[in-house]
Structure 1
Amino acid sequence: MSPNASNSRLPLGIRRRDLLLGTLAAGFAVAVRPISAETITTSDAGLTAGFVSIPVGDRDIPAYRAMPSTGTGFPVVLVVQEIFGIHAYIQDVCRRLAQLGYLAIAPNLFERQGDVTQLPNIDAIRPIVAQVPDAQVMSDLDATAAWTATAGGDLTRLGITGFCWGGRITWLYAAHNPQLKAGVAWYGRLVGTPTELQPQFPVDVAADIKAPVLGLYGAKDDGIPLDSVEQMKSALKAANAPSEIIAYPEAPHGFHADYRPTYRPEAAADGWRRMQDWFRQHGVI
C-alpha cells in the first residue's frame, strides 16, 4: 500500500501535520539506516491498514492501525513504539498482528514533542523522548483504546505489546489500566533513575500490575543488565504477580528488530510464538 493510499483513508478533520507525518513515517526512521537485508515486510492483503486520527483531549494524534478488512469485534492490541517512533518496523508489527485477527494500533506517543523519525541519530532523539511524560503516555493509550471501540475493536479483549522504550511503557500500562487482559514487553528498561516526567520504573510498580505481563529480554543486552531482570523477577514474586520473564541467552537488545544488526531470528520467532500463546492464555484472543 502506498503512503497516498493509506492517507486517503484518514478522517476529513485530520490536521495537515498528521498527513505529513503519515507520509514521512511510511519508511524507516533516518537514524536506523542502512536497513538490514533480513527485514520482514508483511502484506496488507485482506487488511484495512493506514494512519488514522485519535482524539486525545484538546488535540488529535496520528496512529497506524491495521485490522482485518472484513468483520468486527476484533481483539485489540496496543503497539507501543521504540524510541525511533512509528516507522516502517512498527507499522509492519501492526500488520503482522492484524493478519492474526487483531485490531493492532500504534499511536504516535511523541506527537507533542516532535517527529523523531527524521532525526539523524539516537543522540538527537533522546532529548525529545526525555520530554515525554509518562502520565501523557498513559492518557494517550487510554484514548487510543477507547477509539478502537468505535472502529471495530472489542475492549473486553485488550492487550498491549511494546519494544525497547515501549517495553517499559508496557509494564507501566499493565499497572495503570484495570481493563487490560495481558501485556508483552520486549526488552524494556526495568529499573532506572526517576525524573519528574518519568517518576517510576517497572520494578517500582510490580505490586500494582493488574494484568499478566510476559517480559522478553536478551541476556546479552548491554543496556538492560541481567541483574535488573533478576531484580524485576524478585519484585514480581514478592507481589505474587502473575507475570513471567524470559531471557534469551545469546540475544542482545533489539533482537526482534529485523531491520537492524541486532536481529536474532530464532529468539524473535520464539518470542513471537510466546506472545501469541500469552495473549491466548489470558483472554486477548
Structure 2
Amino acid sequence: MTATTLRIPTDHGDLPGLLWLPAEADGPVPGLVVLQEIFGLSDYLRSRCADLAALGYAVLAPQLFARLEPPVLAVEDDEDFEAWLAEGMELTQALPWERAEADAVASLAALRSLDAVDAERVGLVGFCYGGGLAVAAAATAAATGRAPAALVSFYGSALPALLDRARTVEVASLHVFGTADAFIPIEQVERIRDAVTDGGAREQVRFALHEGAGHAFDNPHPGLHHAAASAAAWSQTEQFLAAALPAHG
C-alpha cells in the first residue's frame, strides 16, 4: 500500500506527513495518527501504518524529524546496534518535546479535516517515543475539548515523567509493555498502570504485559525484536481497535 504526502498545518509552518487511505470505503472512515519511534518514519513504522490502513483506517504519520536541520525521514537499521540507537536518541533530544507535542495535536486536526475521514472518530497510535507523545497529545487535545476517540501506546518511553498528565486521559486506550524492558523497569511500568487506569477504575483502559519482552519489542531489528510479544501485542491492538474504534459496520 502506497502512502502520499500531506502538508500538515501547524502554528510553526506546514509539516510533512505520510498519509495512507484504505483501498475501499463506502464513506468517511475512522482515522489514526501514528507517532514514530526515535528512529523516525522507518520502513518498520511505515509498514505498521500500512497494516492499519489495511484494517480500514485512514492513517497519518507526521514527519516529526522534519523540524531538524537537515530534515530527517528515518534512521534505518544499522548493523552497529549501539550506533543506530545513539543516533536515534540524539535526533530525539534535538527536537523540543513541546514542538513534537504541538505537531502531534496539529496532526489530529489535519486528519479530522479530510473529507475521507470521520472527524469524530480519530485516534492516536504511538511507539516508544511516540507512545509517550501520544499520551501527552491526548491530554492536550482533551483539555481543548477535542480528545482523540481512542489511544494505543506501545511502551511509551516518556510515560514515567508524564504520570500526572496520563491520569487526565480518560479515553479508551491500550498500553502494552514488556516485563524485561531495560529502559522502563517493571516498577515504573506498574506506576504507569496505576496512572492510566486511575488505580484500576477505568474499565475502558486495557493494560497488557508481555513476559520476557524488552523495550521496542515490536521493532523487527534483531537487537530489539521479540517475535511472540510482537505478534501478541499486534493482535491485541487489532482487537482493541475493532471494539473501541471499529473501521467497518
* Structure-1-length-normalised TM-score: 0.73
Q: Which residue of 1 aligns with 2:59?
A: 104
Q: Which residue of 2 aligns with 1:234?
A: 194
Q: Deviations over 1:141-194 (max 9, x none)?
A: 2322222222511121111111111111122223222331111111112555xx
Q: Which residue of 1 aligns with 2:164?
A: 204
Q: Which residue of 1 aligns with 2:79?
A: none
SS at match of 2:109: helix
- Aligned-pair CA distance for 1:269: 1.7
* Contact 1:77 1:160 survives alignment (8 Å): yes
SS at match of 1:82: coil
Q: Which residue of 1 aligns with 2:209?
A: 247
* Contact 1:159 1:284 survives alignment (8 Å): no
- Aligned-pair CA distance for 1:207: 2.3
Size of the aligned set, in residue pairs, is 231
- State the alpha-carbon separation in 2 of the partners of residues 161 and 249 from structure 1: 22
- Aligned-pair CA distance for 1:215: 0.9
- Aligned-pair CA distance for 1:240: 3.5
SS at match of 1:177: helix
Counterparts of 1:15-94 in structure 2, within 5 Å, are: 44=1, 49-71=3-25, 72-94=27-49
1:95 is aligned to 2:50 = yes
Letter of the structure 2 residue corresponding to residue 233 of structure 1: R
- State the alpha-carbon separation in 2 of the partners of residues 249 and 58 from structure 1: 42
Q: 2:89 aligns with which of 123, 126, 138?
A: 126
- Aligned-pair CA distance for 1:246: 1.1
- State the alpha-carbon separation in 1 of the partners of residues 12 and 210 from structure 2: 43
Letter of the structure 2 residue corresponding to residue 226 of structure 1: I
Q: Which residue of 2 aligns with 1:23?
A: none
- If you compute each CA radius of gyration, which structure gives the higher value, 1 or 2? 1
* Contact 1:172 1:202 survives alignment (8 Å): yes
Against the structure 1 CA distance between its residues 116 and 260, is the aligned structure 2 distance closer, same or farther, given a 3 Å change threshold?
Answer: farther
Against the structure 1 CA distance between its residues 191 and 158, is the aligned structure 2 distance closer, same or farther, given a 3 Å change threshold?
Answer: closer
* Structure-2-length-normalised TM-score: 0.83
Against the structure 1 CA distance between its residues 210 and 278, is the aligned structure 2 distance closer, same or farther, given a 3 Å change threshold?
Answer: same
